[in-house]
């Protein structure tokens, strides 16, 4: 097994942190960057922090709302929304699993304060990090996700799974679903 296979986040595993069945959240179909329409392609098909990307795209800093958390051993997981500070519009849903042993005590404490997006905490603390896009997804949201993102049933949006390596270690697994 190569490193990429071993460190690629599993979509079902991430979703099951907060949902009994992944289809409760959404139906997911893996797609290529070429199959991803704009503006979703611009928002998702890159190896950068989503916090910075959505702030630049929406021309507004974002706030995080933590909807639910789970702690399992050294892993801290959370289901979140990012909203624009300018008008409160939700621009991203996410599920994040952090392997705290790779983050350091101060960074872990700030992330667990649930006041600042993970990407912003890592940037503010100048943690050596590398974001790795692993998959792009066409997403048909379930009822809850439609409600959270103010979408109509059947509307198609897009998301991605990604990893953030901190000091060379796979520290953060991500599912990020955006609205245009």
CB atoms < 10 A from the CB of 169, how many? 13
Residue 12 phi/psi, 5-degree rounding, is: -60, -40
pLDDT-above-90 percentage for the chain? 63
Q: What is the DSSP letter of 48?
A: S
Q: Which of residues 99 and 41 earns the better pLDDT score?
A: 41
pLDDT of 128 reads 66
In this prediction, residues 153-158 reach a mean pLDDT of 95
Average pLDDT, integer, range 104-123: 86
DSSP string, 101-149: GGT-HHHHHHHHTTSS-HHHHHHHTT--EEEEEEEEEEEEE-HHHHHHH
Both tokens of residue 7?
A: 């460190």
* Residue of 25, 119, 128 lying closest to 64 (CA atoms): 119
Beta-bridge mates of residue 162:
133, 174
156-167 tens-digit pLDDT: 999 999 998 887
CATH of the domain at 145: 3.40.1410.10
Number of structural domains found in the chain: 1
Is the pLDDT at 150 greater than 90? The verdict is yes
**Mean pLDDT in residue range 20-28:** 94
pLDDT for the residue 12: 93
160: buried, middle or exposed (CB in 10 Å: 19+, 13-18, 0-12)? Answer: buried
The residue segments making up the domain with residue 66 are 3-178
What is the pLDDT averaged over residues 121-149?
91
Rounded Cα distance between 18 and 14, Å, is 8
pLDDT value at position 8? 67
Percent of the chain with pLDDT over 70: 95
For position 2, what pLDDT does the model report? 36
Could you say which DSSP state residue 45 is in? Answer: S
The two most distant CA atoms of the chain are separated, in Å, by 46
In the predicted model, what is the mean pLDDT of the chain?
90
């Amino acid at each position: 097994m190569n490193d990429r296979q071993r460190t690629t986040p599993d979509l079902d595993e991430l979703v099951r942190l907060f949902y009994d069945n992944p289809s409760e959240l959404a139906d997911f179909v893996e797609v290529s960057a070429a199959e991803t329409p704009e503006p979703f392609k611009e928002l998702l098909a890159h190896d950068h922090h989503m916090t910075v990307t959505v702030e630049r795209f929406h021309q507004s800093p974002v706030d995080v709302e933590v909807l639910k958390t789970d702690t399992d051993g050294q892993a801290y997981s959370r289901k979140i929304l990012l909203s624009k500070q300018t008008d409160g519009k939700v621009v991203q849903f996410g599920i994040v699993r952090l392997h705290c042993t790779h983050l350091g005590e101060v960074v872990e404490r700030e992330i667990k304060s649930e006041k600042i997006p993970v990407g912003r905490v890592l940037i503010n603390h100048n943690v050596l990090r590398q974001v790795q896009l692993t998959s792009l997804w066409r997403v048909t949201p379930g009822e809850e996700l439609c409600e959270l993102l103010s979408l109509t049933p059947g509307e198609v949006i897009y998301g991605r799974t990604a990893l953030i390596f901190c000091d060379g270690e796979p520290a953060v697994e991500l599912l990020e679903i955006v609205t245009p």
